[in-house]
Each structure stands twice: as C-alpha cells, then as structure tokens.
Amino acid sequence: MTDMTPIDYRQREYSDAIKAFLARGPRLFINNEWVESSHGATIGVEDPSSGKEITRIADASDRDVDRAVAAARTAFDDGRWTGLAPNARERIIHRFADLLEAHADEFAEIEAIDNGKPKGMAAAVDIPGAISQLRFMAGWASKISGEVIQPYTMPTGTVFGYTLREPVGVCGQIVPWNFPLLMACLKIAPALAAGCTLVLKPAEQTPLTALRLADLVAEAGFPAGVVNIITGYGHTAGDRMVKHPDVDKIAFTGSTEIGKLINRNATDTLKHVTLELGGKSPVVIMPDVNVAEVAPGAAGAIFFNSGQVCVAGSRLFAHRSIFDQVIEGVAATAPFWAPRPSLDAEAHAGPLVSKEQFDRVMGYIEAGKRDGASVAMGGDAPTADGYYVNPTVLVDVNPQMSVVREEIFGPVVVAQRFDDLDEVAKAANDTCFGLGAGVWTRDVATMHKLAAKIKSGTVWGNCHAVIDTALPFGGYKESGIGREQGRAGIEAYLETKSVILQL
C-alpha cells in the first residue's frame, strides 16, 4: 500500500452558503426567536480538519438557560403543543423532517466542517438517520393511548378504571459531539411526539447543525417555546438545566463520567433521567467465517467515524485459528480508513473532533505501548494542522491494560485471541460497560448462544453498529439507563396516570 498518492491534509474550501452561515453572530434560539446572550460571552468553534477557529457561538449564562426553560415551561403549561390534535403534532414533525431533507446537502457540509467527519459519511448516515428519527416518531404522536383496566379488588361494574398517557413535561436534552444532528433529532423527535416541550443543548465542540436546525423550527409550524436551542458549556449551561426545578426530564448522551454526575445532580429535583453513555463493545469472530469478508467488517466496526462511536467495536476477539489472518485483513483496510480532511471527496474517515480528543487518544496509544502492547497497524498521527490519527490495531494486550478496560473513543482497537465460546463470552463481559456487541459466525446456534450470553443493550450478528429507529437502543451496566428509539423511546417521554371512577 506504499504506492498511495500522499494525502493532502489541507481542508477544502467551504461553499458560499456555509460561509454566510458562519458569519452570523452568536445567538440563542428561544421562543422561536434568535436572541442575544445576557452576558455576551462566546465560545470559539473549530474545524478539526484544519484546527482553525471558524466562528463563535453564544456561551449561555444561567439567565439565558432560565429564559429558555421558562419559554418551554409556558409553552407546555398553556397547552399550545400538548393540546393540539395528535395528527396536527404528527404533521408538524413530518414538515420538520421535510425541511431537513430539503436542506440535506447543507447540513452534511456543516456537520463535516464542525465535527470532522467526511461530508459523504454525514450525507449517507447522519442526515438520513436524523430524518428517520423524526419520521418514525412523528407517527407515534397519534398512537399513544392508555388502557381500560378491570380493578382487582372491586366487583365488575362498580368502578371504571383506566390509564392516561401524558407527556412528562419540559425536557432538557444534552447531546454529544460525535453525531451532533442525529443525536439532536433522536432526542427531539420522541419528546415532541409525546407532547413535551424542550430545551436542547448541543455539545460546545459541535453546535452548528443544531443552530441551523433551529432556523427550521418556526417554518415547520412549531408554536413558540416548544423547541428551544441554546449553546454553552456542559458544566455551566448543561448543569443549570440538570438542576432546574422547572425541567421535568433530562435526556443525556455522552460520557459515563458525566452521565453519573448528571444522575447525581438531578436527584434534588428528582427528575426523570435517561442516560446513553460509553461502551467498550466486543467484536467476536468465530473460526467458521470467511476471514476475507469479515475482516473489513471488523475494521469498519472500529474505524467508522474515526472510532468516535459509543458502540465502536473496540475490543476484537478472533479465534486463535484465524487470529493472524484477521489482523492482516484489518490492517489491509488502512488506506481506506486513512483520515483525510472532511471535505475531501475521497475521505472515509476524518480527523478527531478536537485537540483534547487527539491528545487523549494518542495518550492511550502511548500508554498501551508502555504497558507492553505491540502495534500491528497505525499507532501514529500524520503531520498536519488538523487532529488526524491513523487507524490503529494493538495486539499482545492483556485485560489489565487501560487500552483494554477504558473507552478510548478513537480509531484504536485491541485484539485478543480466544479458544472457545464460553471463554470469549466471559471475556466479552469482563467490562463495566454493556452497550453493543458484534458476533461474526455462520453458525446460527452459536449466534443465538452468544446473543443470550453477552450482557449488552444490542447484539449484532454479522454486522456492527446497525441502528434502526424502530429498535430500542441503550445500555446495560454503566452504559446507561433507559432506552431510546422504538416504542420504548416514546415511553421514556410519557407519564402514566390511573383514573378510578366510582360508578
């Protein structure tokens, strides 16, 4: 693979539409209006492909958060959204999805510039995924209903008992930087379908698609105050939402460390909390597979989105009899997954999101080497202005090493051998996380056995990280609390009220 043309790490030129978008002043979206922050402080936003600051966003103050929460509170309490006919809510959410679809190319470019992921990947995965979340949940708006229940201790016909499903109320939604728009829509869609109002805070590193999305809110027909989008830091603006007495629910996706902190901080007001957190997902390759076909799948499981994926297949377990072949097959994908600037049309992977993340990932690689791991692929970073890390495979690892135990959130996989099914199931479960797992085999019985043994919210067979809006998604153990997507996803935004009438 040494005959590759050298990669040009300079970011390509932005389109005029994006340049104009970036030139807007820092604003918050509250009550269907763009407003200034109360204290005028701002946060710089970088393009990770170049490491350069490209715009500044508002750093929401406590007063700004309070203002956004008050807007959502009023909009919830006066029934301007909850009180609409379900089919009216459904139509507005669909219109929102239509508008997003109409601007798909622009959203893909913004996401690429802001997060560093290739524009082609954003266009193929993030934007359609975001639209799909909205469309699937839009339909739920008109399918929420309680049930009539026959009481247990009272004679039939003397009491009429039934349940009502009601929206939880005002939701604070805090999302991370790895799939900014997709995560935002994954949070917004069920809340709106349930009849909730919300304040969304994107990650400070990647706020741009959420801000562009705010432009479409009023046009879609949402009444003022139903969708509020504010930018700011987690420990200030995010924290204020978590502790706010007028916020009824916090939905968070991010690191396990911050998820635990949020869970603690939400206790005083006893909010509903759903948490989608970190992972260290195993990928198990059984000896019966065709290695030439499966190795690229195992590589994609970790190198897609430069490994900045909560379900990234970061622990590879290959059967001893095929281990060397699997590593060779994974290593052969290096040119495909080599990071390039996000607007390079040939890119399949981009830089990491920030300098902080770059340092973190390189620190893990160095720690792995110090602990005795060998580098079978990558292990280094190209000389460039952006935050590029070459896809990396570490072998000769053991379960005590930090590279094996901790979530790296970068393009780094640790590979281990195993001999039998029970042994690999035990090794796969030897982690505090439980988000996803991949199993590659042609044997249906092995597949089902491992699916039952592995403790994680999702198990994939002969694929990895396939996400569908209809299927619930979430974590076992320290990977989270609650489920998103599917029926479970809408349930997480509903209260259940029992009504008992004496006849």
Catalytic residues: 276, 310
258 binds ligand ADP (CB under 6 A): yes
238 binds ligand ADP (CB under 6 A): yes
Angle between helices 127-140 and 180-194 (to 10 degrees): 10
Residue 349 is encoded by which pair of tokens?
A: 């992977």
Residue 67 is encoded by which pair of tokens?
A: 């203002």
Give the range of 71-79, 233-241, 299-307, 376-384 binding ligand ADP by CB under 6 A.
233-241
Residue 91 corresponds to which amino acid?
Answer: R
Among 19, 235, 264, 370, binds ligand ADP (CB under 6 A): 235
HEC string of 147-195? CEECCCCCCCCCEEEEEEEEECCEEEEECCCCCHHHHHHHHHHHHHHHC
118 binds ligand ADP (CB under 6 A): no
Question: Cβ closer to ligand ADP: 242 or 425?
Answer: 242
Give the range of 68-76, 171-179, 320-328, 458-466 binding ligand ADP by CB under 6 A.
171-179
Residue 54 is encoded by which pair of tokens?
A: 């490209």
138 binds ligand ADP (CB under 6 A): no
131 binds ligand ADP (CB under 6 A): no
269 binds ligand ADP (CB under 6 A): no
435 binds ligand ADP (CB under 6 A): no
* Count of beta carbons in the 10 Å neighbourhood of residue 13: 9
Q: Where would I find the beta strands (DSSP E) of 434-476?
A: 436-440, 458-461
247 binds ligand ADP (CB under 6 A): no
Residue 198 to residues 170, 210, 354, 492, Cα–Cα distance (Å): 5, 13, 28, 14
CB of 199 to ligand ADP, least distance (A): 12
Among 116, 167, 225, 254, binds ligand ADP (CB under 6 A): 254
Residue 4 to residues 31, 117, 334, 338, Cα–Cα distance (Å): 52, 21, 11, 11
CB of 275 to ligand ADP, least distance (A): 10
Binding mask of the shown chain, residues 176 to 215, with x at each position contacting ligand ADP by CB under 6 A: x------------------------x-xx-----------
Cα torsion 296, 300, 302, 304: sign: positive
Angle between helices 104-115 and 86-102 (to 10 degrees): 70
CB of 257 to ligand ADP, least distance (A): 7
Give the range of 86-94, 214-222, 228-236, 416-424 binding ligand ADP by CB under 6 A.
228-236
Contact criterion met (CB below 8 Å) for 284 and 440:
yes
Question: Cβ closer to ligand ADP: 298 or 361?
Answer: 361
Give the range of 87-95, 256-264, 338-346, 434-442 binding ligand ADP by CB under 6 A.
256-264
- Who's near 60: CB < 8 A, 6+ residues apart? 28, 37, 68, 201, 230, 231, 232, 236, 237
Residues of this chain that bind ligand ADP (CB under 6 A): 174-176, 201, 203-204, 233-235, 238-239, 242, 254-255, 258, 261-262
